[in-house]
Amino acid sequence: QKEVEQNSGPLSVPEGAIASLNCTYSDRGSQSFFWYRQYSGKSPELIMSIYSNGDKEDGRFTAQLNKASQYVSLLIRDSQPSDSATYLCAVIPGAVGTASKLTFGTGTRLQVTL
């Protein structure tokens, strides 16, 4: 079992729709969760971090965390063609402050169509 699992996609959504990206993780003790966006050939860019159960909203992005189900998701509202990228889920295993190395999923490629 991989430590962080994501569907590789591509996930295709029409412009203006909601894109839903999902991620599961295996380390039940993990406390820190991140979503990075990576355009082809570019650096991964942090777009959301979440540490507590529930929802965290930032503009068009909402991260959702359910530690009991070991599940974290990213919703992108009003999807734009510029959102087309690979979205990487990353987890820091263990409690907050005990480590800082990220464990990544393979990423989900999102395509927003006109």
Instruction: Say whether residue 103 binds another protein (CB under 8 A).
Output: yes
Residue 43 as a binder of another protein (CB under 8 A): the answer is yes
Neighbours of 5 (CB within 10 A): 15
How many binding residues for another protein (CB under 8 A)?
23
With CB under 8 A as the contact rule, the residue among 88, 91, 110, 112 that binds another protein is 88
User: In sequence order, which residues have a C-beta less than 8 Å from that of residue 18 and are 6 or more positions away?
Assistant: 75, 76, 77, 78, 79
Question: What is the helix, strand, coil percentage profile of the chain, to 5?
Answer: 5, 50, 45
Contact pick of 10, 46, 66, 80 for another protein (by CB under 8 A):
46
* Contact footprint for another protein (CB under 8 A): 2, 4, 32, 36, 41-46, 49, 88, 96-97, 99-107
